[in-house]
Structure formats: C-alpha cells, structure tokens
Amino acid sequence: MSDTDLTEQSEAYDLDAYLDRIGFKGERRADLATLRGVHLAHALSLPFENLDPVRGTAPSLAPADLMAKMIHGRRGGYCYEHNILLRLALEALGFRVAQLAGRVVVGARTPESRPRTHAMLRVEVAGEPLPYLADVGFGAPGALLLPVPLVTGTEFEGAGRRHRLVRLPHDGPLELWELQVHDPRGGPGEGAWAGQYAFTQEPFAAPDLEVFNWFVGTHPRSPFTRRPYLQRTTADRHLSLDGARLTETLADGTVTGRTLTEEAQARRVVEEEFGIEVPEGVTLLT
C-alpha cells in the first residue's frame, strides 16, 4: 500500500466515531484488554447483513463508505466490511494487524471444496507470546465474540461461547488451521465440536479483498445475492433472518423460530429488531 493510500485511509477513518458507535469506553492502548474490549463491543453493536448484494451490488470497502454506512448510518455489513473496520481501529490504536482469508467449512465435504471467501484478522499484541485471531464478521450464532490466541490444544471460553483451533492435514507449505465451535446442544465429547472455517496465516492485501468482495456480492451462485441473511448478537441472544425464516438462539442454546409472511412485517422486524434501515430497491421477501 502506498503512502498516499495510507493517508487517504487515515483521513477517511474516524476512530472516535467508531468507538462511540460500538460503545467502547476503555483505555486506548495496544494491549490485550483493549483488543478484547473493542472486539466484544463491535460484535455486540454492529449487525451482519447482505442487503447490498440482495439488491445487486457489492458493497464499497472504502473506509469513508464503511464509516458512512455502518458508523454514521443504520446499517450493518458482512465479513469484509466488519473486519476492515476493526482492522482500521486496531491499527489506529497501535496494533500490528494482518488480513487473513479462510474457507467456510460449514456443510462442506472438505475445506478445499470451498473458495477463500471469508476474511478475518491476525493481531500481534505487545507482550503476548502468540498472535491472536480476531473476527467480528462471521455472522453465525457460534461466531467469535472475543479474539483467541493462535494455538492448538486449548479450549477458549469467550462471552459464553467455546472455541478451539485445530490443525488440518493438507498439501500446502503453510499450516492449515480450523476454527471450531462447541455446540451446547450436541452434548459432551468430541461430537459437539463443529468446524467454522479453515485458514492459513498468509496475509492478503486490499486488492485480494476487492476480488473476494466482488465475487461474493455479485455472483449469481453466491448465497448472499439470493436472499437476505441478517444476524444480530446481543449479550443474551442471537437473532438471524435467513430469507423469510427468523430464528432466535438464546445463550443456553434454546432455539425458536418463525416464518415471516408479509413484506411490511419483515421490514418492521429488520428495522426494529436488527437496527437496520432497509435501503431503497430491496425486497426482503420473494
């Protein structure tokens, strides 16, 4: 990235506005407490949504546009938008951050059967022996709420959710990691762990994310162009809208759901329950 690009990003990004939007009141230091606090505040404040792809366009990843949409506007975003905003905040706070890309393995035969379409972050923290995996854009009931160190053989509890990292065999020169979540409904034992995405620690640059974003946001076979997919996480529940199906998952794993049948009803739920202003040109129910 050129010096001009860095200057433009710095001028477009407003750390004060971002921290105010997510409600973070902690110390502004490049330490683990700040990383954890900002990560959790972001995850509990900004919704996941794909309404731009639903109306036929890939969202802009420019810092100024992300600020206008998600910080100053009543909108959310998907993984690229969320994790770029988080990366800009962490860099402004003094962290060293690398952008990573992963393959979503939920429902996949093998990791290699999916493209690298998910974005996450590798964060170095001064005084910590290991880098951390940070991700506020996975958009699922079992997504990370707190960052986890890049180490295997350890389970991590964060804000009521349990995760672990395992290494998978593969033919590449870099280690392949998989983030797994523990499903409280699955009972005790190994069978309760489920993979979320697989990744290496190879860093990806802004042009890579632009290509990923264009594919995910415009390709007719992308699930994000076919129907609304919204997520909202709070301290005590997770709410999702997948097409017309509205699902609530409580902290204890209890799941309830219903199908929305009217457009006016769906728009009211999106605006009141998810805190998202539906943009012009979007029909939620088809």
Query: Among residues 79, 82, 163, 238, which one is catalytic?
Result: 79
118 is catalytic: yes
- Phi first, then psi, for residue 218 (nearest 5°) are -135, -20
242 is catalytic: no
Query: Among residues 82, 135, 163, 238, which one is catalytic?
Result: 135
Tokens of 83: 């994790």
Query: Among residues 42, 118, 163, 238, which one is catalytic?
Result: 118
20 is catalytic: no
Q: How far is Cα 257 from Cα 248, in angstroms, rounded to an integer?
A: 6
Asked if residues 99 and 87 have their Cβ atoms less than 8 Å apart, the reply is: yes
Query: What sections of the chain are H helices per DSSP?
Result: 3-12, 15-22, 32-43, 51-54, 63-66, 79-92, 206-218, 263-272
- DSSP β-bridge partners for residue 156: 163
What 3-state DSSP class applies to 272? helix
Complete DSSP assignment for 180-206: EEE-GGG-SSGGGEEEEEEE-S----H
Q: Residue 253 half-sphere exposure, CB side, CA atoms within 13 Å?
A: 10
Q: How far is Cα 83 from Cα 233, in angstroms, rounded to an integer?
A: 16
Active site residues: 79, 118, 135
